[in-house]
Amino acid sequence: SFKIASIWGIPIELHLTFILLMSAVAILSYPSFYLFALILFLFIFVVLHELAHTFIARHYKIRVRKIVLYPIGGVSEIEEIPETPSIEWRLAIAGPLASLLIGAVLFGLSLIVTISAPRTPISASLGTAGSLMLDLATLNLLLGGFNLIPAFPMDGGRVFRAILAERMKFTDATKYATYIGRLFGIAMVVFGIIFPSYFLLIVVGLFVYIGA
Ligand code: ZN
C-alpha cells in the first residue's frame, strides 16, 4: 500500500487493489466520470468513518498505527484492542454513527440542491450534483447501517462483544461474538451466491469469516 496523507500523525494508505479498482472504474466510465466521482467521494467518506474511530481511540490514548483503504472499505490498524467494554463499544460505534450522520446531512443537502436547481442558470450541473449527493447519502447510510450488523470483527460485532463482555469473561464474550461473526460470514457468502447482484457480499463474507 502507498501512503497518500497523514492525519494526526497517522498515515493513510491506499492499497494496490484500490488503485487498480479506481483505474478500472475511470476507464470503464469514460467519458462520464459520474461513477468515478461517486466512488472517489465515497472513499473520502470512508476515511471520515475511519477517522471517527481514530478520534475516539486518541481520546483513550490508544495508538492507531495506520488507516488502509481497500476496495471493500477502510481498515484502522489499532495497536492494542481495548479489553474494557465501555471503551470498546464507543470506539466501535463511532464509525457507523459518523457514516449515518454524514448520510443524513448529504440527504438534506441533496434535497435543497434538487429543489432549488430549476430556478438557477446552471440547473443541469446542479441536478447532477443533487443526484450525486443523494447517491452518496444512500451509500453512507448503507455503510453505517451495514457496519452495525453484529458480525464480529465488523463494528457492530465489536459493540456486540462489548455488550457480552459486560456480563461474562472477555474471552467467553470473544468466543460467542466470533461464533456469531462466522455465521454471518457464511450467510453473506450464501446470499451473494444466490443473488449475484450482491456479489460483493461474497468478498465481505469471506473477510468476516476469516477475520472472526
Ligand atoms: Zn468502522
Helix (H) or strand (E) holding 13: strand 10-14
Centre of ligand 1 from the C-alpha of residue 147, in Å: 6
Centre of ligand 1 from the C-alpha of residue 29, in Å: 29
Which residue from 138, 113, 142 is spatially nearest to 38, judged by alpha carbons? 138
Centre of ligand 1 from the C-alpha of residue 112, in Å: 29
What pLDDT, on the 0 to 100 scale, is given for residue 172? 93
Cα 23 to chain center, whole Å? Answer: 21
What nine digits make up the cell of 184?
454471518
Which residue from 181, 182, 162 is spatially nearest to 173, judged by alpha carbons? 162
Centre of ligand 1 from the C-alpha of residue 172, in Å: 23
Cα–Cα distance, 46 to 168 (Å, whole number):
33
Give the pTM.
0.86
Of these residues, 13, 50, 77, 79, which one is catalytic?
A: 50
Centre of ligand 1 from the C-alpha of residue 53, in Å: 7
Q: How far is CA 105 from CA 47, 99, 102, 146, in A?
A: 17, 10, 5, 18
Centre of ligand 1 from the C-alpha of residue 72, in Å: 12
pLDDT tens, N- to C-terminus, the chain (212 residues): 888 888 888 889 988 888 888 888 888 877 778 888 888 898 899 889 999 999 998 899 888 888 888 777 777 888 777 788 889 899 999 999 999 999 999 999 999 988 887 887 888 788 888 999 999 999 999 999 999 999 988 899 999 999 999 999 989 999 999 999 999 999 999 999 999 888 888 988 998 998 88
Non-local CB neighbours of 33 within 8 Å, separated by 6+ positions: 26
User: Angle CA(4)–CA(8)–CA(10) in degrees, nearest 5?
Assistant: 50
Non-local CB neighbours of 67 within 8 Å, separated by 6+ positions: 10, 11, 12, 13, 47, 50, 51, 54, 74, 75, 76, 77
What pLDDT, on the 0 to 100 scale, is given for residue 69? 84
Active site residue 50: yes
Centre of ligand 1 from the C-alpha of residue 127, in Å: 31
